Amino acid sequence: MPDRDEVPYIVVQKDSTGVGAFLLGAILGAGAALLLAPRSGEETQKEIRDRASQFRDTAEDRVREVQAQLEERLEQARDELTRRVDVVREAVESGRQAAQEARGDLEDRIERSKAAYRAGVDAAKDAAEGEEQD
């Protein structure tokens, strides 16, 4: 069984995804563009739709990336947990087998002790009977 210090461990780190900062920047940028843009209402609306579409696409891409990273980390953690559970199962089974072997050995020793005790008692009875006959 591996030494406890040799077993790898998992470190979970919280990464700042920057999604909140990205959203805030996009909203502020869109607001500034509306205020400073020398366009007609129709052009501004088209620009807003285009930027909203770009923003949605970018946000969806970022969400997919984060989701993929989370799934990968979850799978790694699940694999490590499964590996550790297997190690514990093996240790428990080894302990169970060792206990059964020790019990069998102890039962054999007890049986030999009982046989030796009975042989001693029988020898003592035979010796006592022999002395009575003399």
Q: What is the pLDDT of residues 13-26, one digit of tens each?
A: 555 566 677 777 77
Q: What is the pLDDT of residues 69-124, one digit of tens each?
A: 999 999 999 999 999 999 999 999 999 999 999 999 999 999 999 999 999 888 88
Highest mean pLDDT among 9-13, 68-72, 122-126, 127-131: 68-72
| pLDDT for 1 | 47
The reported pTM is 0.45
CB 6 within 8 A of CB 76: no
Using CA atoms, how far apart are residues 55 and 33, in angstroms rounded to an integer? 14
CA quadruple 35, 38, 40, 46: dihedral, nearest 10: -70
* The pLDDT value given to residue 5: 56
* Inter-residue contact 10 to 90 (CB < 8 Å): no
